[in-house]
């Protein structure tokens, strides 16, 4: 399994968990259970931060791989 795929997979999972906790926070906020709402909002924020990290790492790896595939033949010979 490639590192890029792993990062996309983890990012997707964290996005799902963040969405769940944002939904729970909204539910508790409407019920005026503000401590529980704040707790779920905090958890959602953490998952969102992790998702952003994995998205960025996946994009970086994808770019590095794409750049290495697109280099002109003259650059590839010089580096070898």
Does residue 80 fall inside a structural domain?
no
Q: Is the pLDDT of residue 19 over 70?
A: yes
Its domain, for residue 55, covers: 3-64
Place 78 in a pLDDT band, splitting at 50, 70 and 90.
low
Q: Can you tell me which residue has the tokens 């958890």?
A: 43
Does residue 15 fall inside a structural domain?
yes
Predicted confidence at residue 65, as pLDDT, reads 81
User: Among candidates 6, 20, 16, 17, which has minimal Cα distance to 54?
Assistant: 6
Does residue 69 fall inside a structural domain?
no
Does residue 42 fall inside a structural domain?
yes
User: Among candidates 50, 49, 28, which has minimal Cα distance to 40?
Assistant: 28
Predicted confidence at residue 67, as pLDDT, reads 74
Q: Is the pLDDT of residue 76 over 70?
A: no
Domain count, the chain: 1
């Amino acid at each position: 399994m490639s590192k890029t795929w792993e990062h996309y997979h983890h990012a997707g999972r964290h996005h799902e968990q963040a969405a769940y906790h944002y939904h729970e926070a909204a539910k508790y906020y409407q019920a005026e259970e503000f401590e529980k709402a704040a707790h779920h909002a905090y958890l959602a924020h953490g998952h969102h931060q992790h998702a952003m990290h994995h998205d960025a790492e996946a994009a970086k790896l994808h770019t590095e791989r794409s750049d290495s595939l697109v280099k002109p033949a003259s650059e590839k010979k010089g580096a070898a």
